[in-house]
């Protein structure tokens, strides 16, 4: 409540529920409460999530994790150029 909304973090689940291991799990768990999910495939486990956000037309990375930021940047640039 104090954050004013959801905070996406490593486990990507509602507190007390099992951690999500795929983008579909995240969407099933958090649904309309989030703006989107970067689907990097099934979670390999043991590696923190990459936490990022958007600022204007750019990306901001809050924590490097399982999906390297350079992969996300490349995908983002590809989407923007299509």
Which residues are CB-neighbours of 7 under 8 A, at least 6 positions away? none
DSSP string, 46-70: SSPPPEEEEETTEEEEEE--SS-HH
24 backbone dihedrals φ, ψ, rounded to 5°: -65, -40
Inform me whether the pLDDT recorded for 8 exceeds 60. no
Q: Give pLDDT, residue 2.
A: 59
Inform me whether the pLDDT recorded for 7 exceeds 80. no
Q: What is the pLDDT confidence band of residue 70, given thresholds at 50, 70 and 90?
A: very high
> Residues 11-67: pLDDT tens digits?
666 767 776 778 888 888 888 888 888 787 887 665 667 778 888 878 888 778 778
Q: Give pLDDT, residue 4.
A: 65
């Amino acid at each position: 409540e104090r954050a004013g909304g959801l905070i996406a973090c490593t486990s990507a689940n509602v507190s007390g529920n099992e951690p999500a291991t795929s983008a579909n799990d995240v969407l099933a768990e958090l649904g309309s409460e989030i703006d989107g999910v970067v689907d990097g495939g099934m979670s390999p486990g043991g590696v923190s999530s990459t936490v990022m956000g958007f600022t204007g037309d750019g990306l901001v990375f809050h924590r490097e994790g399982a999906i390297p930021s350079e992969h996300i940047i490349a995908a983002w640039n590809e989407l923007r150029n299509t």
